[in-house]
Amino acid sequence: MKVLVTGVKGQLGYDVMNELAKRGYEGVGVDVDEMDITDRAAVERVIGEVHPDKVVHCAAWTAVDAAEDNQEVCHKVNAEGTENIARICGKLDIPMVYISTDYVFDGQGTRPWEPDDPVVKPLNVYGQAKYDGEVAVEKYAPKHYIVRIAWVFGLNGKNFIKTMLNLGKTHDTLTVVDDQIGTPTYTYDLARLLVDMLEKEEYGKYHATNEGGYISWCDFAKEIFRQAGMDVKVLPVSSAEYPAKAKRPTNSRLEKKKLEEHGFTRLPDWKDALGRYLKEIQ
C-alpha cells in the first residue's frame, strides 16, 4: 500500500509516516514545498504522479488565535485546500482520511459530542474553516474518514506540554483555565489508529482522543508537572479571566464508542500517553 501524507512536517504527519514504515507500507510525505494544497493544479499533478492507494490529509492552518486576523488564509488552507484534495481523491477513487477538530462544535452543555451529531456551530475562524473542509470531503470524496481530534501533542512542533515545561522552568506558580473540558490526543497513538483505518473500509466520521476520562487544561497541567517531577503550583482560572483572541469551546468532550462499533481499538489512557511522551522528549 502506498500512502500520500500531507503536512508531513507537523506533529501528526511525522508520526503517520513512521507508523506506515513500521508496518511495511510506502509513505510519501509532502508539505507545502512539495505540494501547496491551496493550488488545485499542483494537488492534481502531485497526486497524479504519486498515484497513491490512500491519502492521509494532516496539513492544516492550526494557529487558532492568528486565524482570527487571517481569516482568508485560514479558509484557503483548511477549507479550499481540503476541497482540492477531496476532489482529486473522488475523481481517482482514492480513499482519504481528513483530520478535523473538536472546534467544529459550539462547546455548549456537558454531553459528549457524537461523531454524527447534526448540529455544528464553530465558535471561531479556525473551527469554521475545518468544518468547511469536512463538508468538502463529504461532497467530493465518497470513500472517506473524517477523524476529529483535540488537544494534540507530538514530537514535532509546538504543543501545550512543551509550553508548560518551558514555563515551569521560570515560574513556580502558573494559572491555567479550568472550564474547558476535553481529552488530549497523542499523535503517536493516533497515527496507529489512522493506519488501522487505512487497512479497513469502515468509512465515516469518528472521534479519536486518548482515553482516561475528561479533564480541564488545569488538570492536564498539574499532571504534566507531577509526571515531570517539577514543583510548580497550578492555579485554576476561568476562560473569561484569561481572554484569547479566538473563543474556545468549554465542552470538548468527544464520544468515541463508534470506534469499537466498527472494529477499531480506542487510544490508551492519556496519563499513560503523557508518560511515554515525556520519556521521548526528555
**Active-site annotation holds for 126:** yes
Task: Round to whole Å and give the CA distance between 161 and 220.
Answer: 9
- Residue of 200, 187, 203, 208 lying closest to 16 (CA atoms): 187
Q: Which residue in this structure is represented by grid cell 482570527? A: 68
What is the secondary structure of 53-72 as a DSSP string?
Answer: SEEEE------HHHHTT-HH
Indicate which residue of 126, 131, 140, 206 is catalytic: 126
Task: Round to whole Å and give the CA distance between 111 and 83.
Answer: 31
Task: Round to whole Å and give the CA distance between 243 and 154.
Answer: 26
Single-letter amino acid code for the residue at 72: E
**Residue 32 CA from chain centroid, whole number:** 18
Single-letter amino acid code for the residue at 38: T
The CA-based angle 17-269-203, given to 5 degrees, is 50
Catalogue the active-site residues. 126
